Structure 1
Amino acid sequence: ESSPVFAEAMAECEAALAPHVDWSLAEVLRGADGAPGYDREDVVQPVLFAVMVSLARLWRSVGVLPDAVMGHSQGEIAAACVAGALSLEDAAKVVALRSRVIAAGLAGRGGLVSIGLPIDQVRGRIAAWNGAVSVAAVNGPGSVVVAGDAKALDELFAAFDGEEVRVRRVAIDYASHSVLVEEVREELLKVLADISPRSSEVPFYSTVTGEPMDTAGLDAEYWYRNLRQTVELETTTRRLIADGHSAFVEVSPHPVLRLPVQQTVEAAEAEAVVLGTLRRDDGGLQRFLTSAAELFTHGVQVDWAAALEERGGRRVGLPTYAFQRDRYWLEAPAGVGDVGSVGLGSLGHPLLGAVVSLASGGGVLLSGRLSLATHGWLADHAVHGVVLLPGTAFVELAVQAGDQVGCGRVEELILEAPLIVPEKGGVRLQVEVGEADASGYREVSVFSRDETEGETAAWVCHARGALAPVQGAGDTLFDFGAWPPAAAQVAEVSEHYVRAAENGLEYGPVFQGL
C-alpha cells in the first residue's frame, strides 16, 4: 500500500513463483484465510526471496545501486537475481523447487544452533560428537552456526548450560550445510537442471568459496553446494573489505546478520558502515526511508527527489545572499548544571542524567540522582511505609545502559538488594556496563549511595545482569502490537490493591496501572 515500486516488484515475483507453488504470495503476506504459514519451509524461503528482491528494487529506485553482492545460504539466490546472474524466473524456480526438496527430504530430521564463540573454540567443543554436529556457517569472529541431528543438538545445548556463552536454536527443523544434505543431491540436480545462469555486471562474492566468481557457474551443482557446504560469511566479508568496499546494507526484513558483519569489520580494523533495511515490527516505508537517511549520513548518495516524489517532497529555493549576522551579547561559559562542562555526556533520562565512556576499555558509566523532591512519584511505591525503587525501574536502567552500547536486550537481571529512597535528601545512582565479550554480551551493574553519608561511604550493589545485542527471531516473545496478546486470559484485579495494602504493599495512584 505504501510503495508502488515494492508492490510492482512483488507482483513480478508472484508471477515468477506461480508455476512452482500452490499458494499466493500476496495472500501469505497478508495472512489471508486458508493461506499457509511461515512454518512451512517451502513457503518461508520463497517469501523471503521475494521480499529481498523487491527491497533491492526499492533501493535501486532511490539511486542506491550495488557495487557488489553477497548472500547467506538461501540469500545467495536473491543476490544472484539482484546481480543479474539469474533471471527472476530462474531464481524463483531455484528457491521454490529447492525448498520443496528440502521440505520433502530433510525437514524434521535435525536443526541448527547458533553459538557466540570463535570458530576454533566451536570446533573444539563439537569434536566430542564425532561428526554428528558440524559447522554450518561462520558468520563472524564470534558467531558460528552448527548443524546436526536433533539428539546431538540437544546434548550440545545442554553442555553449554551454566556457561556465559550465547547459545540459541535457529527456528528450522533440518540440518542444512551438513552431511544430511548429500541425500537430496541427485533430486536437486534433476529439478534445477535447466536453469541458465549468465555472467553478471555486478560482482558476485560467493559465500561458498569466499571469493568473487563468474556467475555463469551458478548452475544446479552450485546451488547444491550452496546448501551442502559451510557458509563462509566472515571470509567473504573480509574479502569485500580488502577489495575496498566500505558500506554494507543488509537487504532483508530484519538485519540478523548486521552484528556479525559489524564484528568482522571491527576485527579487520576497517572503516565501514553496516546498516539494515527494515526491522521486525518496523517494516513500513518510513523505516526504509530512515535507513536510506542513515546511509546518506555515512556518505552514500541517495536520490532524494525520487525517494520523496510520492510523498509530496519538492525542492525549495535558498536565499540568494550569504547569511550575515551580528551578535551583541556575551558568550557565557557553560553553567555548573551543564554536565558537558565537566566532560560528561548528557542523557536527558528521567532517572539518569549523564554518561561517560571508560578510558580503560569499551565500557560506559551512567550516573543520576534520585530523591522524593525531584521524583515525587516514587512515593507511590512503598513497603510498610518505606519508599523503594520499583523492580521495573532497574530494568529501565539496564535497558538505557544497553542502548548506549548497542545492546538493547536485557538477557538477565538479578536483584540483590532493595534501593530505599530516603524521606529527606537523595541517593546517587551509578550504572556500570563492561566490555563486550566474544559473543557481544556485556555485564551490567546498578549501584547507589546515600548522599548524606559522604564520599567515603560504600556503594551498594542492587542489581547485576547481562546485556545482549538484539538479533534473531527468538528475541521477540510476544507481539504487543495486538492487545490483549494472543491466548491471554482476563484476570480479575479489582481487589488486588486492597489485599496488597493489607500486606504492607502500598501502591499509590501512579502505580495502580492494572
Structure 2
Amino acid sequence: MTRPVIVGMSCRLPGGVDSPESLWAALYEGADLITDPSDEHPHQREDVLPGGLLDDADMALDADHFGLSPLETRTLDPQQALLLEGVDEALQDAGIAPGELRRTPVGVWVGSSCLDQSITHLGTDHGGTMVETAGALPSMLAGRLARTFDLRGAAEVVNTACSASLVALHRAHQALLLGEVDTAVVAGVQHLGLDTHTRMFRNSGTYSPTGRCRPFDVDADGFVRGEGVAVLVLTTAERAAATGTRVRAELLGSHTNADGFVPHGLASPSRAAQTDLLRHVYERSGVDPYAVGYVHAHGTATRAGDAAESMALANVMGRGRAEDERLVVGSVKANLGHLEGAAGVVSVVSTVLAMEHGHVPPTPHHAEPLPRMAELGLEVATAPRPWPGPPERRRLAGVSAFGFGGTNAHVILALPETAPRGAVSGEQAAEPVARLLPVSAGGPAPLAETAGRWAEHLRGAPETAWEAIARTAATGRDHLAQRAAVVAEDPAGAAAALEALAGGRGHPALIPPRRTPERPPRVVFLFPGHGSHSPGMGELLAEREPVYAAALQKARAALQAHRPQTPLGEADLRAVQPAAVAHQVALSALLADWGIRPDAVVGHSLGEAAAAHVAGALSLEDTARLVAERSALLAESAALGGMLATDLDADRAAAAARASGTSLAAVNGPASTVLSGTHGALTALREHLEAHHPRARCWEVDQAPPAHSPLLDAAADRLAAALGELAPGASAVPMVSTATGAGIGGAELTGAYWGRQLRAPVQLAEAVAAATGDPGASAVLVEVSARSVLAPALTDDVLACADEAYDEHTALLRLAGGLYARGVPRAWDRARPAAAVPLPARAWARPSDRPDPAERGDDLARRRAELEAAADEAQRRDVLARALQAWVAEQVPGQAGAEPVGLDSDLAALGLGSLVLMGLRTRLHQLTGEPVEIADFYGEAGVATLGAVLAHRSR
C-alpha cells in the first residue's frame, strides 16, 4: 500500500526564523516572536501591529535565479517571492535537486487566504497590465511555482480561510494515494500588506487587545496575526526508499469536513463537526487515537474556538486517559501569531520537528488552563517536556486546522520507524577516502555565505557521514553559476576548506571559486607520450574505482596478448609504453563514467594511440597491436640516439638543430621544444647552449629513443608494413593530429599514417590550437596521464589527472572539481545512501541594483521630451530605438554589457518573455501616447524584431 511521507521542509517566519532548525530553537525556548507597536521606533507597517512580522530582508527575492525581470519583480506579490525561495529550500532539505523535477508529475498545492496584493494592484481604478495581474492573482501562487520549476502535476490554490494549507496537504495526500503525482509540494503563505483584515478582526472582537495569543488559557482574549511561509515536500515511502531520500515523517491519515449549519451563526465553530472529523480520520487510518501523544491544535485562543476544540479532542482522544498520560496540546500561534491560510503547514513543520527531537515545546503565555482541561484528559506544556508516553512507543501526533466558514482538517503524523534522521547506511571505509564536495551559488557573496553555513554544519559531523554528505551536495542540489569544490578525506578537512572559501582565502583542499560561462566550455583530452609513465600508477585507482579497474584489466589483456614475454610495468619501453597507454584508456573510461567526455582529442607521439581509441577510430585490439609494434621498434632504436628538451622557441630550436646536425622533434609550446639526434650530437648541442646561451635551459629526456627524426626512417617503414592490415573506423570524437597540426578523420589512421607519425615532428602547440577552436571561445585542456608532462609547456589552465602533491585518486577528484568549477557537465553518482544527510540551504543573492521608481519616472519624462524635440522621422526612430535598448538591458540580465540591441534583433532571441513584451508595450504607449497592440510584437514567424515594432509605431 502506498504510504505518503514528508521528505523536505522549509520555513521563513517572524523573529529571523529562516529554517526548520532555527524554528525549533525558537520553539524549544518558548520564544515570543511578536512585534509590538512603538512610539520611539514606529514600524513601517504599524497599522497591523501587534503581530508576527517578517523583516524586509526576509521578503527579499533572488529574482535573477528565478528568471524574473525587474518589471515582474516590482509588482510581484511578496507571497509569490516567499514561495519561490521556500520551495527551492524545501527541495534542498529533501536532497532533491529542483532541476531533476522538471517536466515530471509533481503537484503543487498552496494554501493562502491573503488577498492584500490583489486588493492593492487589481482594484477597480487600477487598470494595470497582465504583469501586475500575474503578480497579484491568488491563483498564481501555485501557477508561478509550477511554471518556474516546470512541474507537470496539478497546480492548485486552496482558500478555506484558516484551514487552507492543511486542506492543501490533505489534497496532496489524496493525490499521492491515487497515484496522480509522484511528488507533491505543499505550502502555506501569508503577507500582511494591508490592515483591512486586522481592522475587521479588531472590530469583531477576535483580535487580542493584549497583543498575545494564549491558547486554552483562562485569560485567552483572541489572537494576533502573523506572516511567513512554510513548505513541505511529500512523496511515497516506496519512492523515497528507491531514491535514497530521507524521510522526516509519515502521513498516516488526513480528512476534511465542514461544520454545516450551526445555530449560533457563520462564525461559530461546530463541536460536533470537529468531533466527527477526528473520529473519522482515526477510524479510517487505523490509528488508535489514544496512542497519539501530542496534538498541535488550531488554538486561536478565542473562547468559542478553544472550548469547541478542547471538547472535540476530549470526545475522541482525551477522556479516560491516566493522569500521567494526558493528551498534550499546544499551538505555535502563541509564538508567531495566527498565519491564517498558512497556519496549517506551519503547524505541521513545528510538529515534525517536535517528533524528531523527542520533545514537546512549551506554549508561551499559557498560565492557567481552561476549567476541566485535566478532567477532559488534556494538558498544555508550559516548559519543554519529553515526548509523552513510554520511550519505546512510536511517536504519533495530530494537527488540526479550522477555517472561517466551517472547513475543518486534521492530519495524523508519525516518526518513521526506520533509520533515525541523519543516520547513514553502509560501512565506514577502513581508512579515510577522499571525496569531492561541490558547492555553488548565484554569485560570489552567496557562495561565501553558503560555504560558511556548510563549514559550521560539517564541523561536528561524524566521519561516517562523509560519503553521504558529499553525495548529497552532488545530487541533492542544483549547480549554479558561481562554483567551487572541496576534495577532502573527512568532514573536518572539508570544513576547514569551506571556512577558507567563506573568508576569501586559499586552502590546499579547495578548488578556487569561478564563474562558469553561459555555455559549457569545450573539453579537449590531451594524451601525452613518452615520460607520462609513473611507477605503481593505477594501483590506488583500481582499489577505489571499479570502472577504472575493469577498463584497465581489459586494456592490459589486449596489450599482453601482443607482447606476452614482456610483463607490463617492467623498466623496458616494450612494457612501459603499453602500460602508459593502458592507464590512459582506463582513465578515459572512468572520466566518461563521471560524465566527463571530450569534445576533441589530441595525442602527443605515443599518446595518439590512446587518443585514436578514445575518439572511436581504433578498437582496443587495434590500439594494442599498434602500441606493441611501435614500442618494440622504439626499444630496438634506443641505441641510435636520444632526445633533448629545451625552453627554446620553435625558430631558435630549428636553427640549433640545423647547426648541430640534430632534428626538431617536437614543438610543445611557445617556449618548449624537443630535439632528436645521436647521443654525441645532443651532448655537443647541450654543451654549446650552456656555454653560449646560459639563459637557455635543456635536459635529456630519460630513456627516450630518437623518435620523430630521420634516425627512425627505417623503423617508420617497418611500422607501416607491420600495421598494413589495421582497420580504423570513423571517429565519434574529432581528433587533431600532432603530426600535421590539423584535424584527421578516423579512416585516415592507417598503418601508413602511423609510420609517418613516428617520423614526423610533433606539432603539439598547433594541434592544441586547432582542437580548442576559436581563441575567444571557452575551452579547457585535460591532460590524461599518470604524470603531468605537457601542461607547463601550454598554459597554466591545463587540468591534469595527476599531481605530485596528491595521491592519484585525490588528484583525479581535484581534476573533476576543477572541471565542475569551469562549468563542465558532470554525471554525478546517483546511488545515494539509504538515509541521505541534511545540508544547510544555499544562500541567496540579494541584488541591490534594481532601478528606483523615481528614476524610472525621470527616465520616461526625459525620453518623452527627446521624442517631442525630434526634428524628423529618423531622429524619432533613434529616440525610440535607444529607449527600447535601455529597457531591454533593464529586463534581460547581462544585456547591459552586451552588444547593442539592433533594429533587426529578434525579441525572443533576447530572452524576452511574454510578460516582458507586455511591459515593453506599456512603455511604448507611455512614451508615444499611441495605442500599442500586443499583436505588434508578433509576426507570422513568431516574435517580431524591434525594427518591425518601431516601423509600426513610428508612422
Q: What TM-score range do you get, normalising by the shorter chain?
A: 0.5 to 0.7
Q: 2:818 aligns with which of 284, 289, 294?
A: 294
Cα distance in 2 for partners of 1:281, 1:319 equals: 32
2:835, 2:785 → 1: CA distance?
A: 29
> SS of 1:146's equivalent?
strand
Change (3 A) 1:298 1:182: same
User: Quick check: 1:79 aligned with 2:611?
Assistant: yes
Aligned to 2:562: 20
Among candidates 730, 745, 752, match of residue 221 of structure 1? 752
Q: Which residue of 1 aligns with 2:579?
A: 47
| Closer/same/farther in 2, CA of residues 277 and 315 from structure 1, 3 Å limit | farther
Per-residue deviation, 1:316: 4.7
Q: Which residue of 2 aligns with 1:248?
A: 781
Residues 1:313 and 1:284: Cα distance change in structure 2 (over 3 Å): farther
Aligned-residue offset at 1:317: 5.0
Structure 1 equivalent of residue 546 of structure 2: 4
Given the alignment, which residue of 668, 672, 676 partners 1:147? 676
Q: Percent identity?
A: 36
Deviation, 1:234, is 0.6
The DSSP-based 3-state class of the residue aligned with 2:675 is strand
Deviation at 1:125, TM superposition (A): 2.3
Determine the C-alpha separation between the residues in 2 that align with 1:18 and 1:12: 10
1:200–1:214: 8 Å Cα contact kept in structure 2? yes
Instruction: Please name the residue that 1:89 is paired with.
Output: 621
Q: Structure 1 residues 166 and 20, CA, compared in 2 at 3 Å: closer, same or farther? A: same
Aligned-pair CA distance for 1:10: 0.8
Cα drift, residue 44 of structure 1: 1.0
Post-superposition offset of 1:71: 0.4
Say which of 696, 706, 709 aligns to 1:178: 709
Q: Which residue identity is paired with 1:291? A: L
Superposition deviation, residue 258 in structure 1: 0.7
The correspondence of residues 401-420 of structure 1 with structure 2, limited to 5 A, is none
Superposition deviation, residue 284 in structure 1: 2.8
Alignment of 1:451-462 (within 5 A): none
What is the CA–CA distance in structure 1 between the aligned matches of 2:807 and 2:587, rounded to whole Å?
11
Q: Distance in 1 between matches of 2:722 and 2:778?
A: 36
Equivalent of 2:651 in 108, 120, 123? 120
8 A contact 2:738–2:763 mirrored in 1: yes
* 1:154-303 correspondence runs (5 A): 154-162=683-691, 163-243=694-774, 244=777, 246-262=779-795, 273-280=797-804, 282-303=806-827
Unaligned runs of 5+ in 2: 1-542, 847-955
SS in 2 for 1:156: helix
Gaps of 5+ in 1: 30-36, 264-272, 326-514
* Paired position in structure 2 for 1:137: 666
Shift in Å at residue 61 of structure 1? 1.1
Paired with 2:768 and 2:834, the residues of 1 have a C-alpha distance of 36
Higher relative contact order (CA 8 A, sep 6+): 2
**How far 1:278 sits from its partner (Å)?**
1.4
Aligned to 2:126: none
User: SS of 1:249's equivalent?
Assistant: strand
TM alignment of 1:100-119, pairs within 5 A: 100-104=632-636, 106-119=637-650
Could you say if the C-alpha distance between residues 218 and 164 of structure 1 is closer, same or farther in structure 2, counting changes exceeding 3 Å?
same
Matching residue's letter, 2:674: V
- The two structures, once aligned, show a CA RMSD in angstroms of 2.5
Distance 1:219 1:22, change over 3 A: same
- How far the C-alpha of 1:102 sits from its partner, in A, is 1.9
Residue type at the aligned position of 1:146: L
What is the identity, as a one-letter code, of the residue corresponding to 1:91? T
* CA 227–186 in structure 1, closer or farther in 2 if over 3 Å, else same: closer
Task: State the one-letter code of the partner of 2:673.
Answer: V
Query: Conserved in 1, the CA contact under 8 Å of 2:642 and 2:703?
Result: yes
1:301 CA displacement: 2.1
Paired amino acid for 1:142: A
How far did 1:116 drift? 0.2
Cα pair 2:617 2:730 within 8 Å, conserved:
yes
Query: If each structure's helix is expressed as a fraction of its own residues, which one has the higher value?
Result: 2
- Partner amino acid, structure 1, of 2:622: D
Assess, with a 3 A threshold, how the Cα gap between structure 1 residues 44 and 298 changes in structure 2: closer, same or farther.
same
Aligned partner letter, 2:799: L
1:280 to 1:324, Cα distance in 2 relative to 1, 3 A: closer
Give the drift of 1:241.
3.0
Cα distance change of structure 1 residues 319 and 180 upon mapping to structure 2, 3 Å threshold = closer
* Residue 66 of structure 1: aligned partner: 598
CA offset at residue 124 of structure 1?
2.1
User: For the Cα contact (< 8 Å) 1:253–1:283, is it kept in 2?
Assistant: no
Asked whether the 8 Å contact 2:801–2:808 carries over to 1, the reply is no
How high is the TM-score relative to the length of structure 1?
Answer: 0.55
Question: Could you tell me how far 1:304 is from its partner in structure 2?
Answer: 3.0
Residues 161/195 of structure 1: CA separation in 2 closer, same or farther (3 Å cut)? same
- Distance in 2, matches of 1:206 and 1:324, equals 46
Inter-CA distance 252–324: structure 2 relative to 1 (3 Å threshold): closer
Amino acid at match of 2:551: A
- Relative distance call for 1:76 and 1:321 in structure 2 (3 A) is closer
- Aligned in 2, Cα 1:147/1:278: closer, same or farther, shift over 3 Å? same
CA distance in 1, matches of 2:793, 2:666: 11
Deviation string 1:144-181 (CA, Å, 9 cap, x unpaired) is 00000010000001112250222111012421000011
The DSSP-based 3-state class of the residue aligned with 2:798 is strand
2:854 matched residue in structure 1: none
Counterparts of 2:561 and 2:687, CA distance in 1:
44
Pick closer, same or farther for the CA change 1:320–1:2 going to 2, 3 Å.
closer
Q: Deviations over 1:447-497 (max 9, x none)?
A: xxxxxxxxxxxxxxxxxxxxxxxxxxxxxxxxxxxxxxxxxxxxxxxxxxx
- Structure 1 stretch 281-290 or stretch 85-94: which is displaced more? 281-290
Q: Which amino acid aligns with 1:79?
A: A
Contact 1:80 1:204 in 2 (8 A): yes
**C-alpha separation between the residues in 2 aligned to 1:190 and 1:291?**
40
**CA shift at 1:280, angstroms?**
4.1
Checking the alignment, whether the CA contact within 8 Å between 2:566 and 2:574 is kept in structure 1 is no
What does residue range 334-353 of structure 1 map to in structure 2 within 5 Å? Answer: none
1:293-313: CA deviation from partner (whole Å, max 9, x where unpaired)? 12211221222326xx59x69
In the alignment, is the contact (CA less than 8 A) between 2:717 and 2:755 conserved in 1? Answer: no
Q: Distance in 1 between matches of 2:753 and 2:799?
A: 29
CA contact (8 A) 2:665 2:708 kept: yes
| Partner of residue 198, structure 2 | none
Equivalent AA in structure 2 for residue 285 of structure 1: H
Q: Aligned equivalents of 2:582 and 2:620: distance in 1?
A: 10
* Matched residue type, 1:139: N
Aligned to 1:364: none
Q: How many angstroms does 1:126 deviate by? A: 2.6
Q: Check 1:16–1:166 CA distance in 2 against 1; reply closer, same or farther (3 A cut).
A: same
More moved, 275-284 vs 82-91:
275-284
SS in 1 for 2:544: coil
Distance 1:45 1:320, change over 3 A: closer
How far does residue 18 in structure 1 lie from its aligned partner after superposition? 2.2
Q: Counterpart amino acid of 1:93?
A: R
Distance 1:43 1:247 in 2: 31
Which structure has the greater CA radius of gyration? 2
